[in-house]
């Protein structure tokens, strides 16, 4: 039953990210499920969800880690590799769940890399970052929330050694990572919720297909109906 609740919570969260555990409890009850606020709170904590006021974060920050200032206030985004961002989302499956991290170029919406994990340690984030930085590409600024995966020394050191400026969302800044939040909505409604993957291998294969489609075939109205790949590589010329 917990997996059913988590799937329903995730779907509703994509529609109403301002719902905290009290409203999410009432939503589940409206579907005739008997669920306590305590249970909903616990499940949302496992999923890494909280209402966007204050801003949603997949994990808690670590007070021993350095927090970097937010560098993107009133900064126009005018080229590829100017700003990248990373975020983590919960992924429901028929027989369990995983966590997905992706790194996105803000200008083009191009997904540079992604990785899956069944835990919230930062190894899969490090791996995604290493992949994104391959082929001598790097952003001027890398923006994340203050989750412990992104404030960890082995993550920030990799960026600093590549001479990338690090930017981190401030508390309550709901729309700082809006582009990658839109990516999560797309991948879940256009693939994950429809296919209801049962096993992690199926999920990985399905996401590989989807991100190929997203980058190379899916037209974006905000990109004047071009694909992320077209805009990203045109912006590098």
| One-character DSSP codes across the chain | -HHHHHHHHHHHHHH-TT--HHHHHHHHHHTT----HHHHHHHHHHHT---SSS---SS---TTS--PPP--TT----STTSEEEEEEEEEEETTEEEEEEEEEETTT--EEEEEEESS-SSHHHHHHHHHHTGGG---SEEEE-S-HHHHSHHHHHHHHHTT-EEEEPPTT-TTTTHHHHHHHHHHIIIIIHHH---SHHHHHHHHHHHHHHHHHT--BGGGTSB-HHHHHHHTT-
pTM: 0.86
Indicate the CATH number for domain 83-234.
3.30.420.10
The predicted structure's pLDDT at residue 42: 93
Provide the residue-wise pLDDT of the chain in tens; the chain has 237 residues. 899 999 999 999 888 888 889 999 999 999 999 999 999 999 998 888 766 544 444 445 556 668 899 999 889 999 999 999 999 999 999 888 999 999 999 999 999 999 999 999 999 999 999 999 998 899 999 999 888 899 999 999 999 999 999 999 765 445 566 888 899 999 999 999 999 999 999 999 999 999 999 999 999 999 999 999 999 999 665
Provide the residue ranges of all domains of the chain, joining segments of one domain with +: 2-47, 83-234
């Amino acid at each position: 039953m917990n997996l059913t609740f988590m799937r329903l919570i995730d779907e509703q969260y994509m529609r109403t990210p301002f719902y905290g555990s009290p409203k999410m409890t009432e939503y589940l009850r409206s579907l005739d499920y008997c669920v306590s606020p305590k249970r909903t709170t616990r499940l949302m904590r496992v999923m890494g969800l909280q209402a966007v006021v204050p801003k949603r974060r997949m994990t808690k920050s670590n007070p021993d880690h350095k927090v970097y200032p937010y560098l993107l206030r009133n900064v126009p985004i005018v080229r590829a590799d100017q700003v990248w961002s990373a975020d983590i989302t919960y992924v429901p499956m028929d027989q369990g769940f995983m966590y997905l991290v992706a790194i996105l170029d803000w200008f083009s919406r191009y997904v540079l890399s992604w990785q899956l994990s069944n835990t919230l340690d930062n190894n899969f984030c490090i791996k995604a970052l290493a992949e994104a930085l391959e082929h001598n590409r790097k952003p001027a600024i890398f923006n994340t929330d203050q989750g412990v995966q992104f404030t960890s020394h082995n993550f920030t050191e990799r960026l600093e050694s590549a001479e990338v400026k690090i930017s981190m969302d401030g508390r309550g800044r709901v729309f700082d990572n809006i582009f990658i939040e839109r990516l999560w909505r797309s991948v879940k409604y256009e693939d994950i919720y429809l296919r209801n993957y049962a096993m992690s291998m199926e999920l990985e294969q399905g996401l590989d297909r989807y991100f190929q489609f997203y980058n190379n075939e899916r037209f974006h109205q905000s990109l004047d109906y071009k694909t992320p790949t077209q805009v990203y590589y045109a912006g590098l010329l």
